[in-house]
Structure 1
Amino acid sequence: MKTDHEQAFEIFDETLSNSELFDHVEFKKVAGLPFVYLTVKDRVERNEIEAALKQCAAKAMRGKRLTLAMSYVRKNQALQVYRVRFLVPQRKMFCCGNLCDDCIRFTDP
């Protein structure tokens, strides 16, 4: 069974590959960090690329408790490189006494 994080990356990869803005999409892990190498079609601006990345990430994160951390790395001719990470929220380890909705007292071990 796959985790939400793994499922999100699969959906993200699939939706990016099906996008009309990109000719080729490749994922690489360098030093444990995921990078997306995008070969874009002609005359696509950076803001359009980032909007497409955010839209694909939103589809991947739907129904999961994940957040997106995305940063532009570099451009080399038609190749765009972005670092894209899905962050998993930390869980509380103790009761702080503030009557939180997600209090550790209300979860099964």
Structure 2
Amino acid sequence: MDLDQIWHQFIDHLLDNEEITQASLRKFTGIPFIYIHYHLAQNDNSKLFFLIKKAASLSMRGKQLHCETIFVRQEEHVYVFRHRFFVPQQKMFCCGNLCPDCILFRS
């Protein structure tokens, strides 16, 4: 699974919305931040969160990924979020050690 491709799809899905004029990914010390230029008459962060979740779900479709979005700051019409894609911490295969959380014991 190539995370760069997922990030590219995610940014493309964000830019499909007409309220979002610009979206970019920047990494500082390995932590990904998304910068979004969002223009809406009223200050409605919940709609922007919905648009981010929708774009992320479209990008993650068919893959074993989760995402986390945390609001960082806002300046004028620029919103900054810490956003990351991650693999869930579940066992996906049997290693043969008879672990208590082995997938063989799932019903």
Q: TM (normalized to structure 2)?
A: 0.81
SS in structure 2 of the partner of residue 60 of structure 1 = helix
Distance in structure 1 (CA, Å) of the matches to 2:104 and 2:83: 30
Shift of 1:95: 3.6
- Count residues in correspondence: 101
Structure-to-structure mapping, 1:24-35, within 5 angstroms:
24-35=22-33
Task: List alignment gaps of at least 5 residues for structure 2.
Answer: none
- Asked if 2 retains the 8 angstrom alpha-carbon contact of 1:21 and 1:49, the reply is no
Alpha-carbon RMSD across the aligned residues, in angstroms, is 2.2
Relative distance call for 1:7 and 1:101 in structure 2 (3 A) is farther
Q: How does 1:82-101 map to 2 (within 5 A)?
A: 82-90=81-89, 92=91, 94-97=97-100, 100-101=103-104
The 3-state SS of whatever aligns with 1:65 is coil
CA separation in 1, counterparts of 2:3 and 2:103?
25
Identity of aligned residues (%): 28
Secondary structure of residue in 2 paired with 1:59: helix
Q: CA deviation at 1:88?
A: 1.6
TM-score of the superposition, structure 1-length normalised? 0.80
Alignment map for 1:3-42 (pairs within 5 Å)? 3-42=1-40
CA contact (8 A) 1:22 1:38 kept: yes
Give the 4+ runs in structure 1 shifted more than 6 A: none
Inter-partner Cα distance in structure 1 for 2:69 and 2:6: 14
